Chain A
């Protein structure tokens, strides 16, 4: 059996590794997303260049990973030497002094090449605390054939009004085609990422300058009403449990007319091996409402080194390798330019070969149009587009997300959901001492 043979080889390899233990072993915690799995598969290139370093991988599902690394870094458990974290964690952890600053990376690394919007999100008081592995914004992905059949044309920068009209026109429930697929599953990184970004374009914000929650404002009522009416008229059944993955599966099997979600999804939906609609996908900027803000977010999965690790040097070498220009070329040589980790480096978008990728320009434009420091129409006291970079946010936003998810499922009314959200957010913000 080939399987057992491989397995035995694997076991032998481990035995060999553990006996030749002169090398230093670094433990890397990462998310089980495609780009990271790809990085894990390329480990050999790193160990070939650094024969004195061995790499251990801990690959976990996003929520579990976040819980594990946060517990470990906050208690100084020291189980990991490199952690994969997002733009939400970096400013908070950097401020606490939990991360090793990365400003002393060598000239050849070319930190100035990192996209300014992304770099800004990973910098605290002028120090870079994490290196971006891939960056994303959100945009509209739509089916060109269905759009044409509906007799409409997608502008490059659509309005919410147009999205609503098109979604309703494209819906054909008997054929199981739903005009729009949006996130509905509760979670600060799921429906709240989308709704917070959408709220920005409707003039809503999380907190006013006195840290008072704003769910009792008209802007939030408009946002949520628009979202729920749209999903009721043109969304798929069971939308309140759909996250990124569920929507991806729907879109790939040809059940969605439009999908507004992470820019990294573009390479999945245009991959003919996985997607039945690969040759029919068009892209557009996330919609706006004429208020000067678009409903797109900004995120970067980044590699950071926890302060206090014994293996700082080795860890730095790894971070440098995985986020370098050379790494992009390594991936391109192996899996093609369409599959390189997007959204981190200016030079990638200046590369003529990469510019041919259909979603390259739209991804860059989306990333550049997000401003974490001024996310909303009105001024806000926090940093972050689809989140507020304060420690309390993930707990509050998850609870708020549950309320909005219930409203989408139809088990609560929009008014009650907003009132509950306002209450629980006020409660937690008071407890945390923001509201005096």
Chain B
């Protein structure tokens, strides 16, 4: 099969990508690591110096740290849950024959093309605002007290906004998986008298498992660093109710301009992200076996 020649050629061809990514990873990482042991505030030049683990100690003992950790996990988990369940359902629906399939598909994937900042601004101002938002208007129409989404359920509101953006992505990938499903196998099962539920559980779901794995993996990567939506809607509040790790790092490095503290937070966020990643790979990685 592969000759010695092609093997060395392969190494040569993969190297630009690997070297570039290695550089992209190592250079900022090295700088971040370096800064994380320095006292370095942009607004107070000339107060530098090595401070050991002080930045880490401060970041880890921040009262907001623990809630940021749980919020990050809740945010990722919540969005994954909604998009996967919703995506399976939507993909199944889209896979059925109906009139205007092309147009509906276009409508459903549209949110994926919207910039995160734009979608957060639109949801916050035009829908969730408890006085002039559309939801408040609907609630009043039904004789209910308008619900103040971003104050009473900030994290849930952000999960909803982010889910709206990512649902099309999950639906698309799951739809292609549905389309490759063997319909004869389904029919045979139907003949044998299998109920719709068991057909779904024992034929469709196993077939979808690879696609679901892909959705979870890719979305997790993007969701761990959700930031723009929080900045635009709640600024991490009220209190720390919607602060995730990325936002906490932001507050440290771009609100207080404490580069040292922000870098320490960045290093911690990277470590935690990688723990999540390893955990994910362990759990679902075998599904990706190629």
Closest to B250 in A: A67
CB neighbours (8 Å) of A374 from chain B are none
Closest chain B residue, CB of each to CB of A412: B239
Report if B119 contacts A (CB, 8 A): no
Top-5 shortest CB links A-B: A395-B256, A238-B130, A406-B239, A391-B43, A406-B238
Distance of A406 Cα from B240 Cα, bound (Å)? 9
Query: Chain A at the B interface: mostly helix, strand, loop or mixed?
Result: helix
Question: Given that A238-B129, A238-B146, A395-B256 are known contacts, is A74 also in contact with B42, CB under 8 Å in the complex?
Answer: yes
Partner of A240, one of B42, B131, B238, B254: B238
Given contacts A402-B237, A420-B63, contact A237 B44 (CB under 8 A): no
Q: How far is the CA of A38 from the CA of B236 in the complex (A)?
A: 33
Q: Is the CB of A411 within 8 A of B238?
A: yes
Chain A residues within 8 Å of B239, by CB: 402-403, 405-406, 411-412, 420
Q: Is the CB of A406 within 8 A of B256?
A: no
B191-244, CB < 8 A from A: 234-241
Interface window among B148-156, B167-175, B182-190, B271-279: B148-156
Q: Are A405 and B238 in contact (CB under 8 A)?
A: yes
Interface pairs (11), CB distance under 8 Å: A70-B43, A186-B238, A237-B145, A238-B150, A241-B148, A395-B251, A405-B237, A405-B239, A408-B238, A427-B58, A428-B256
Shortest distance from the beta carbon of A393 to any chain B beta carbon, whole Å: 9
Chain B interface, >50% SS class? loop
Which B residues touch A96, using CB under 8 A?
43, 45
Q: Using a CB–CB distance below 8 Å, which chain B residues touch chain A?
A: 41-45, 58, 63-64, 129-132, 145-146, 148, 150-152, 234-241, 251-252, 254-258
Interface size class, chain A: 35 or more
* Interchain CB contact under 8 A, B45 and A74: yes
Task: Name the residue in B58, B131, B252 with the highest tally of chain A Cβ atoms < 10 Å from its Cβ.
Answer: B131
**Pair B131/A402 contact, Cβ less than 8 Å:** no
CB-nearest residue of chain B to A402: B237
A85 part of interface (Cβ distance < 8 Å):
no
Residues of chain A contacted by B255 (CB below 8 angstroms)? 67, 394-395, 398
B63 adjacent to A424 (CB under 8 Å): yes
User: In the bound complex, what is the Cα–Cα distance between A96 and B240 (angstroms)?
Assistant: 33
Give bound CA distance, A92 to B251, whole Å: 20
A186 touches B235 (CB 8 A): yes
